[in-house]
Amino acid sequence: MKVKEMKREMITAKVMKTAPESPVNIERVSPFSQTRDEKVLREIAREVRKDIIRMTTEAGSGHPGGSLSATDLLVALFWGEMRHKPNDRYWADRDRFILSKGHGCPALYSVYARTGYIAHEILPTLRKLGSPLQGHPCMIHLPTLEISTGSLGHGLSVGNGMALAGRLDGKDYRVYVVMGDGEQQEGSVWEAAMSGAHYKLDHVCGIIDYNHLETEGTVEEVMDIAPLAEKWCAFGWHTIEIDGHNFDEIFAALDEAKATKGKPTMIVAQTVKGKGVSFMENNVGFHGKSATREQMEQAIKELDESE
Amino acid sequence: MVKLGERESTRNAYGVALAELGEIHPEIVALDADLAGSTQTRRFADKFPERFFEMGISEADMMCTAAGLAVSGKIPFVSTFVIFGAGRAWEQIRNTICRPNLPVRICLSHGGISIGEDGSSAQACEDFAIMRSIPNISVIVPCDAAETKALIHEIWDKPKSPVYIRMTRNKVPTILDENDQSFHQKFTLGKAVTLREGSQATIIACGQMVAVGIQAAEELAKEGIEVRVVNMSTIKPIDQDAIEKAARETGRIVTVEEHNIYGGLGGAVAEVVTERYPVPMRRVGVRDVFGESGSPDALFEKYGLTPKNVVKAVKDLVKS
């Protein structure tokens, strides 16, 4: 394993060296330390959202809407919940994180940068040739990732596999899988739902970013997934419904998940697509389209002025 | 114990070999989709119940769960029928096993028309094409039980990339001698093995069609036509040098496979022949049709996977 890891590090180093320079102004990132202090987390989430807007505008494409809706969930996990060490990425006891809705990766890349896994300077290389920051997460390009994602309906099964391996190895690490609401339409999600309950994977915690919008419109119009919490409950999961932008509710749910034994937990988090930017909120137009430079300036201003 | 000349299925040899390996290597785990008795992973499951995961009839979930196990340091052997594993779960194999280049061993059984009486829904004849077109993966089709056993012992932990092994349901004649001194040399990934020498044409075959090729060569020899027979058990990475050598030295190539003539062994060989040393070719295989119910032998007869048909293809080339 050691050799493989070293090889991976070398690949990243090589990729980063060739990554293109960016004209976008990058701020200094404050050192990472874990906290559940809501004021601090709000500040971090604001910076992550600004990163997302800048990265996707710089790339000229990407999925800002679903990145913004998942931001508070990711910030809560990385700063206030998960056991991990950014300076020891291969620590065997680390909690695992999988972004099954891989298109929301600008949020994850920003979180990786602000926790110190990757250099903040490379964020503007998103989606550009030679960048470790692929349009959908690829662990060959970015070994910091636990798994490559991007094709919906795969991540929860991978998480189950990691949890089974942890059980065999006598490890107590937990596995967090963030999924999309549109992703719930993939049949394989429900195969994974059955497996997770069947094997009583109480170290698995799924979180659904329920922002109610997908490429072609509202989830309700495209292919309704309601009643979602009831479905997961019926599949044998401990199910918790929360406001996915309320840190108190997020942490209460994560604590409840950790305390739940004998079955996995699914947190259904109600969110707002495009959260934090007025003209992106609940706007399906920003599912798979980035802001123009003008819109970017306005979005950054709004975020800076928000509480 | 695999005995020369006796009939044994490749899936059976796989199950035995996997259970043997499980004894030595604790990192090996196995997954199946409600077919452990058929694919023979039951042998591993009975010995190591804690390392065997019954996934139910959910192949997509099974492939990605295997990826999660592999990325956590395990060596997963994943089994079901070819049609469900390579077919239904192709995209999971492509994106979550091959794209991250994980050491998952996808060992599928009941490929080809020899699954027999179950009929066309399960008779996968497309898997060589769809699997070999995915980057990072190796594609292996063992010719008999002896080769299967050797392959499983050989590839369990190398390469560190995904491997696909295609096996079949029926009992096939064991044509390779397990006690031969050169046995292990014969099973190097990516190396074709010449089983019979000849100068007028080369029959390149894989799976149980290798035995058909040998029979055809024996028939041809009676008529004074000497043909080389090559066991191309690794379809990817294919042994380009062996193919070029056959083209240069024998001038004619006939491929034989239990697969559609499009995109499989014949296609892979033709790709090399046309680039490196063009010579006339014939492809013997299932001719772009779905199969039907029947015994394996009756189906081979109807769909042309017989020594007679291979003899005809060779003669066509020798005459032209």
Assembly ipTM = 0.96
Tokens matching residue B19: 């259970």
Residue B186 confidence class, pLDDT cut points 50, 70, 90: low
* Closest residue in A to B89 (Cα–Cα): A188
CB contact under 8 A, A157 and B29: no
Residue closest to A237 by CA, chosen among A165, A182, A184, A186 = A184
pLDDT (tens digit per residue) in B237-286: 999 999 999 999 999 999 999 999 999 999 999 999 999 999 999 999 99
Instruction: Pick the range with the lowest mean pLDDT from A299-303, B5-9, B63-67.
Output: B5-9
* pLDDT at position B185: 57
On the question of pLDDT at B178 being above 90, the answer is: no
Beta strands (DSSP E) in chain B are: 7-8, 28-32, 52-54, 75-79, 105-108, 138-140, 163-166, 172-173, 193-196, 201-205, 227-231, 234-236, 253-260, 281-286
The reply to whether residue A165 touches residue B99, judged by beta carbons under 8 angstroms, is no
Contacts of B29 in chain A (CB under 8 A): 164, 168
Q: Give the span between the Cα atoms of B262 and A39, in whole angstroms.
A: 63
The domain boundary, picked from B173, B202, B224, lies at B173
Q: What is the mean pLDDT of residues A165-184?
A: 98
- The verdict on residue B80 lying in a domain is yes
Task: With a cut of 60, say whether residue A18 has pLDDT above it.
Answer: no
Give A17 or B298, the one with higher predicted confidence.
B298
Q: Is B114 domain-assigned? A: yes
Say if B51 is an interface residue toward chain A (CB within 8 Å). Answer: yes
Q: B8, B59, B147, B258: which is the annotated catalytic residue? A: B59
> Closest-CA residue in chain B for A154?
B64
Torsion sign over Cα B130, B132, B137, B140: positive
Does residue B141 lie in a domain region? yes
pLDDT of residue A27: 56
Residue B1's pLDDT is what? Answer: 59
Confidence class of residue B181 from pLDDT cuts 50, 70 and 90?
low
A234 located within any domain: yes
pLDDT tens digits for range A53-69? 999 999 999 999 999 99
Cβ proximity of B286 and B261 under 8 Å: yes
Question: Greater confidence, A114 or A31?
Answer: A114
Predicted local confidence at residue B183, as pLDDT: 61
CA distance A212 to chain B (A): 25
Q: Per the domain annotation, does B1 fall within a domain?
A: no
B157 & B21 share domain: yes
CB contacts, 8 Å: B160 with chain A: 4
- To which residue do tokens 């069609």 refer? B209
CB–CB of A158 and B65 under 8 A?
yes
Rounded Cα–Cα distance for residues B131 and B142 (Å): 16
Q: Which residues of A touch B (CB under 8 A)?
A: 1, 4, 138-140, 146-151, 153-155, 157-166, 168-169, 187-188, 191-192, 194-195, 198-199
Integer CA distances (angstroms), A271 to A195, A197, A268, A277, A282, in order: 27, 25, 9, 13, 10
Give percent above pLDDT 70 in chain A. Answer: 91
* Burial class, A27, CB count within 10 angstroms (exposed 0-12 / middle 13-18 / buried 19+): exposed
Q: In what order do the strands lie in the sheet with B163-166?
A: B52-54, B28-32, B75-79, B105-108, B163-166, B138-140, B234-236
What DSSP state is assigned to residue B9?
-
Q: Kindly list the residues from chain B whose CB atom is less than 8 angstroms away from the CB atom of residue A197.
A: none
Mean pLDDT across B4-17: 94
Model confidence pLDDT, tens digit, residues A116-137: 999 999 999 999 999 999 999 9
Chain A contact probe: residue of B34, B59, B64 with most A CBs at under 10 A: B64
Query: Using one digit for the tens of pLDDT, what is the confidence trace for B287-316?
Result: 999 999 999 999 999 999 999 999 999 999
| Helical H segments across B156-239, by residue range | 209-222
Range of the domain at A296: 2-17+39-305
A24: in domain: no
Lowest-pLDDT range, A29-38, B204-213, B296-305? A29-38
Establish if B61 touches chain A: CB-CB under 8 angstroms.
Answer: yes
Contact of B252 with B314, CB cutoff 8 Å? yes
**Residue A21 confidence (pLDDT) above 50:** no
CATH number of the CATH domain containing A111? 3.40.50.970
Q: Are residues B43 and B118 in the same domain?
A: yes
**Contact check, Cβ <8 Å, A161/B66:** yes
Beta pairing, strands B201-205 & B253-260: parallel
B287 and B220 share one domain: yes
Q: Which residues of A touch B95 (CB under 8 A)?
A: 148, 150-151, 154
In the prediction, which pLDDT does A263 show? 98
**B17/B139 same-domain check:** yes
Distance between CA B39 and CA B167 in Å, rounded? 9
Q: Are residues B34 and B169 in the same domain?
A: yes
Of B53, B58, B69, the CB nearest to A194: B58
Put simply, the answer to whether B69 touches A1 (Cβ < 8 Å) is no
pLDDT of residue B184: 55
- The predicted model gives B10-34 an average pLDDT of 98
Query: Do residues B139 and B196 both lie within one domain?
Result: no
CATH of residue B99? 3.40.50.970
Whether B182 contacts chain A with CB within 8 A:
no
Domains in chain A: how many in total? 1
B101 vs A contacts (CB less than 8 Å): 140
Average pLDDT, integer, range A187-207: 98
Same domain flag for B122 and B71: yes
> Residue A287 and residue A215: Cα distance in Å, rounded?
6
Distance from CA of B290 to the nearest CA of A (A): 27
Per-residue model confidence (pLDDT) at position A1: 40
Q: Are residues B98 and B18 part of one domain?
A: yes
Closest approach of A192 to chain B, Cα-based (Å): 6
Q: Are residues B127 and B248 in the same domain?
A: no
Instruction: Determine, yes or no, domain membership for B183.
Output: no
Averaged pLDDT score across all residues of chain A: 92
Within a domain: residue B109?
yes
Nearest CA in chain B to A90: B72
Question: Which residues, in sequence order, are CB contacts of A170 under 8 Å at separation 6+?
Answer: none
Residue B123 confidence (pLDDT) above 50: yes
- How does pLDDT run across A76-123, given as a tens digit for each residue? 999 999 999 999 999 999 999 999 999 999 999 999 999 999 999 999
Percent of chain B with pLDDT over 70: 98
Q: Does residue B59 carry a catalytic annotation?
A: yes
Which of A147, A150, A188 has its CB closest to that of B71?
A147
Question: Chain B, 224-283: which have a CB under 8 Å from a chain A CB?
Answer: none
Of B173, B207, B242, the position where a domain reaches its end is B173
In chain A, the largest separation of any two C-alpha atoms, in whole Å, equals 53
Residue of A nearest to B97 (CA): A148
- Of B141, B173, B205, the last residue of a domain is B173
B96 interfaces chain A, CB cutoff of 8 Å: yes
Confidence of residue B179 (pLDDT cuts 50, 70, 90): confident
Selecting from A4, A151, A195 the residue whose C-beta is nearest the C-beta of B65 gives A195
CA angle at B263 for the pair B257 and B264, rounded to the nearest 5°: 25
Tell me: do B202 and B145 sit in the same domain: no
Supply angle C-alpha B298, B299, B302, rounded to 5. 90
Enumerate the residues of chain A whose CB falls inside 8 A of the CB of residue B55.
195
Give chain A positions within 8 Å (CB) of B33. Answer: none
Q: How confident is the model at residue A13 (pLDDT cuts 50, 70, 90)?
A: very low
Domain containing B246: what range? 190-319
pLDDT higher than threshold 80 for residue A184 = yes
What percentage of chain B reaches a pLDDT higher than 90? 94
pLDDT at A12 over 50: no
Same domain membership, residue B211 and residue B144 = no
Number of domains in chain B: 2
CATH assignment of the domain containing B313: 3.40.50.920
What's residue A10's pLDDT? 45
Which position has the token pair 């990817």? B236
A296 is written with which tokens?
């970017």
Tell whether B135 is covered by a domain: yes
- Residue A206 is assigned to a structural domain of this protein: yes
pLDDT at A11: 44
- The Cα diameter of chain B in Å comes to 60
pLDDT at A6 over 60: no
pLDDT number for residue A62: 97
With tokens 């999971």, the residue in question is B92
**Structure confidence by residue, pLDDT tens digits, A250-305:** 999 999 999 999 999 999 999 999 999 999 999 999 999 999 999 999 999 999 99
Residues B11 and B158 in one domain: yes
Q: What token pair was written down for B158?
A: 């190398």
Residues of B in contact with A159 (CB under 8 A): 68
